[in-house]
Amino acid sequence: MNLSGPFIRRPVATMLLSLAIMLLGGVSFNLLPVSPLPQIDFPVIVVSASLPGASPEVMASTVATPLERSFGSIAGVTTLSSSSSQGSTRVILAFDSDRDINGAAREVQAAINASRNLLPSGMRSMPTYRKINPSQAPIMVLSLTSDVLPKGQLYDLASTILSQSLSQVPGVGEVQIGGSSLPAVRIELEPKALDQYGVSLDEVRDTIANANVRRPKGSVEDGERNWQIQANDQLEKAKDYEPLLIRYQDGAALRLSDVAKISDGVEDRYNSGFFNNDAAVLLVINRQSGANIIETVKQIKDQLPALQAVLPSSVKLNLAMDRSPVITATLHEAEMTLLIAVALVILVVYLFLGNFRASLIPTLAVPVSLVGTFAIMYLYGFSLNNLSLMALILATGLVVDDAIVVLENISRHIDDGIAPMKAAYLGAKEVGFTLLSMNVSLVAVFLSILFMGGIVTSLFREFSITLAAAIIVSLVVSLTLTPMLCARWLKPHDKGQQTGLQRWSQKVNDHMVAGYARSLDWVLRHKRLTLLSLFVTIGVNIALYVVVPKTFMPQQDTGQLIGFVRGDDGLSFSVMQPKMEIFRKAVLKDPAVESVAGFIGGSNGTNNAVMLVRLKPIKERKLSAQAVIERLRKDVPLVPGGRLMLMADQDLQFGGGRDQTSSQYSYILQSGDLAALRLWYPKVVAALRELPELTAIDAREGRGAQQVTLIVDRDQAKRLGVDMNMVTSVLNNAYSQRQISTIYDSLNQYRVVMEVNPKYAQDPITLNQVQVITADGARIPLSTIAHYENSLADDRVSHEGQFASEDIAFDMAPGVTVEQGTAAIERAIAKVGLPEDVIAKMAGTADAFAATQKSQPFMILGALVAVYLVLGILYESYIHPLTILSTLPSAGVGALLSIYVLGGEFSLISLLGLFLLIGVVKKNAILMIDLALQLERKEGMQPLESIRSACLLRLRPILMTTLAAILGALPLLLSTAEGAEMRQPLGLTIIGGLVFSQILTLYTTPVVYLYLDRLRHRFNGWRGVRTDAALDTPL
């Protein structure tokens, strides 16, 4: 059956079919979203809770633990961790990748409700949750600065106006605000004045709470009209609170201003942001899942002038970070690489055939195949990203293979004197099954990735399906458009009419075939030696895989750095700010840095800060992001009590949403015995600091936070009518920035915050000035019933899987791979000798690397099994698929040897290249073996004669297809612009594998074919089965 026959006879229908494919693809191309990498959804939910004034240990025991116990019963949770700091707790739940995030959110909310009775009664609001995707980086950061307005008002503008407007832009997901907090009326009490007038803290609190209410008051009516009732029950500004009457004393009014300083401030004094040299409020914008980053950013930028217009004239809206230029440049470079690859492939065809008209046929086949792929990408909901575009670049060399095989076979028949129309029928029929087996087995290689599971499937799903789609479309085009064009465009010619290029091409081809024939005859006379070389190749493969440096993913240069500033445990906000300033100025001074933004304090804790560094375009800075980091590590001054950790921001991030991770790599210790954890954690940190393979180690230096423990004499307190609830209430009123009332506005809600004047909260001795009320109404200082002791505490308490945990963040030293670093850690930990009740494990990228490292051999084996099964079904043979698969070890040697010699690293991108090599190299073997079987079946040749003839006849298409694949990958290898770090490893793997395998498989394949054919005859003879060539017929 000739599938191409109807299309050869009906050129108009064939052309219209091709135009329809192009039209669908062109429309789909404009609808595809744009992103740096495929959309990978890690279902993560973050639960946040606050209790102002509570210590980290109190937050961990009273908030984190009850929530964790409730969350522990939710199905599909892979990681449950929490981090508690002063007044704040974050619980992070990571779910299975196939878990529906909306269903998980409903279960999380139900668990929060179930834990309500176990949470502290003083919490003003229940814990809240939000759904996040930790693999996605923010697409844009905006900053608000002003020389006139205070930061509280800037935060209010960001919260009430900008955040709401930006959230309505199509494609925008969550908008986070940092760098300050909402405006608030702050009541700062004077302990001496309270003592002088005999006023308790609870009395002041009750006065304020009763004076500021916003409750329904109903209405009255006279039968015809209705009057709504309002009252002056809402106090909005600090000046409204100053005259509040606490009570009359000695005939005089005692007002709030007599015992407190009232001001318009912010809810949280320990929170600050900056942009370059100015104080700022930051808006961090994330995209919705699947949104087009470029289009979303463009729409945000279009909105900025209108947003600036509604802001006060003294407020400036600045662009602090924008990922779109780097993404645009990266994708533009990938698109240019694609065009170059297409041009090089067409050049190969032209040089080999020497016929301009013939070279036009694959020239048309390539764009139809590639553009048609866009339609399938759209149907699957894919995006234009680095990986999908790399798939299209590599597809250029693959889709042209089909056109080359058809074109070359038809051209050979025309050269033999057959009419073009008949040659097209005959040539297409001869290679139809060959094309089917080549392409179906190639699709099987890439679709096998979809069944690997884990991060590999999530990351490479778009790559695999895009490449498979291009191959399928190419198969259709090669069986329809290509033979039709050959029948009408190729013309018979005599040697006298040949052009100079055609004569040169024919001469080169004749010399290659003659040289190959001589060397092939020698190989066929020394089959054992050739077979031995194959086994040597397999051994070299294993050896190279063991010794070649390995990493997880190439380090990207996104033009963004993330900095984490850590202060020693217990450092106050006022002490931490100058340290942050030193780091900020040092980073901003670097010539490669465009801008710096960040924030300190808030939920991160008073001794932690985050810095977002925007680099200049790579053409201006000339250095990679990692090189800039190394320079900054040398140039940033050492600051006592503070340290700056920098990492290159990555499009793909791991760690399951873990909190406060200052590096891609981290190591976790966890134990049910807190004392054991505190004993062994410093030993592990010390061991890791000794490793030269690691750098920028970020670990907590002991329990350095200061803690004041109030020891109450319960008997004495009882005699005086004072209980613990009264004591903790007084302390909460004085030192917790307690939110005691709410101010309702038309746009937002604001708080009234009460605490003692900060100057009375700078030393533990001020506790002695706090007074409580006894049962008989007398006022006594706390020192009457209690004394305090100083001790050390944790400034952050972490849990992992409901067990206490500590983590150590680190980076790899220059030139050290993830494999080398993790191996060094394992050796160091083995020497430490951790007890059984202390568990140590990798986290973040190191953990993802370890998981994929174990599964890589099984991934490759799975692809080989898939190819064997498909080829066995197509050829109705157990033996011939083994012959085809025997070509693959040489490709592995070439790829691994190239990586090793050139100092590269074997990453997931390199693994992807190996999968591609499996598909490309076996295509060459299929071309030889399929023709050899036809010659045996139709012309009665013996195996030796048939495989020799097949090798010589298929030499030109094999060289053409291989060279096309090499030149298609060459622009990937030579790329130096944005995104090159992702493309180069793929290009190196493919080119190295193809060059080496091309040299070897031209000789090993016929030898293996002969040996396995002999084995097949013996096996069939033992079974009593006929071995006639006629029976050896593929489907």
Give, for 521, the enclosing helix (H) or strand (E).
Answer: helix 500-525
Closest CA to 396 of 910, 966, 909: 966
Same domain assignment for residues 486 and 515: no
Two tokens at 679?
């004993």
Stated length of the chain? 1035
The CATH number of the domain where 732 resides is what? Answer: 3.30.2090.10
Residue 633 lies inside a defined structural domain of this protein = no
Rounded distance between C-alpha atoms, residue 627 and residue 750, angstroms: 46
The CATH number of the domain where 997 resides is what? Answer: 1.20.1640.10
Same domain assignment for residues 902 and 1027: yes
What local confidence, expressed as pLDDT, does residue 1023 receive? 54
- How many C-beta neighbours within 10 Å does residue 708 have? 15
Same domain assignment for residues 1014 and 936: yes
Same domain assignment for residues 1035 and 958: yes
Residue 525 lies inside a defined structural domain of this protein = yes
* Mean pLDDT calculated for residue range 1009-1024: 73
Same domain assignment for residues 97 and 209: no
Range of the domain at 198: 184-214+233-266+705-793
The CATH number of the domain where 119 resides is what? Answer: 3.30.70.1430
What local confidence, expressed as pLDDT, does residue 392 receive? 86
* Mean pLDDT comparison of 25-39, 107-121, 901-915, highest-scoring range: 107-121
Rounded distance between C-alpha atoms, residue 802 and residue 671, angstroms: 9
Residue 829 lies inside a defined structural domain of this protein = no
pLDDT, tens only, 771-827:
888 888 888 888 888 888 888 777 788 888 878 888 888 888 888 888 888 889 999
Same domain assignment for residues 477 and 514: no
Q: Please say which residue of 769, 793, 817 terminates a domain.
A: 793
Same domain assignment for residues 884 and 1024: yes
What local confidence, expressed as pLDDT, does residue 589 receive? 93
Closest CA to 143 of 321, 323, 317: 317
What local confidence, expressed as pLDDT, does residue 755 receive? 92
Closest CA to 489 of 621, 393, 365, 392: 365
Residue 173 lies inside a defined structural domain of this protein = no
Same domain assignment for residues 1034 and 895: yes
Residue 111 lies inside a defined structural domain of this protein = yes
Same domain assignment for residues 1028 and 880: yes
pLDDT, tens only, 860-919:
888 888 888 888 887 778 888 888 888 788 888 889 999 988 888 888 888 888 888 887
3-class secondary structure, 700 = coil
Residue 599 lies inside a defined structural domain of this protein = no
Give, for 454, the enclosing helix (H) or strand (E).
Answer: helix 454-489
pLDDT, tens only, 203-242:
999 999 999 988 888 888 887 888 888 888 899 999 999 9
Counted domains in the chain: 4
What local confidence, expressed as pLDDT, does residue 407 receive? 85
Residue 784 lies inside a defined structural domain of this protein = yes
Rounded distance between C-alpha atoms, residue 860 and residue 854, angstroms: 12
Q: Tell whether the model's pLDDT for residue 268 goes beyond 60.
A: yes
- How many C-beta neighbours within 10 Å does residue 909 have? 27
User: Across all residues in the chain, what is the average pLDDT?
Assistant: 85
Rounded distance between C-alpha atoms, residue 855 and residue 937, angstroms: 42
Angle at 136 between CA 130 and CA 142, to 5 degrees: 85
Give, for 184, the enclosing helix (H) or strand (E).
Answer: strand 183-189
The proportion of the chain whose per-residue pLDDT surpasses 70, expressed as a percent, equals 95
Q: Phi/psi zone of residue 354: left (φ > 0), alpha (ψ -120 to 50 degrees), beta?
A: left
* pLDDT bucket at 1030, cuts 50 / 70 / 90: very low
Residue 908 lies inside a defined structural domain of this protein = yes
Q: Please say which residue of 445, 460, 490 terminates a domain.
A: 490
Q: Please say which residue of 733, 759, 793 terminates a domain.
A: 793
Q: Tell whether the model's pLDDT for residue 1034 goes beyond 60.
A: no
DSSP strands (E only) in 777-822: 779-781, 786-793, 797-800, 803-812
Rounded distance between C-alpha atoms, residue 1030 and residue 934, angstroms: 10
Same domain assignment for residues 29 and 88: no
The proportion of the chain whose per-residue pLDDT surpasses 90, expressed as a percent, equals 23
Same domain assignment for residues 443 and 358: yes
pTM, two decimals, is 0.79
For helices 386-415 and 908-939, angle between their N-to-C axes, nearest 10 degrees: 20
pLDDT, tens only, 357-415:
777 888 788 889 889 999 999 999 888 888 888 888 888 877 877 888 888 788 888 87
Same domain assignment for residues 469 and 538: no
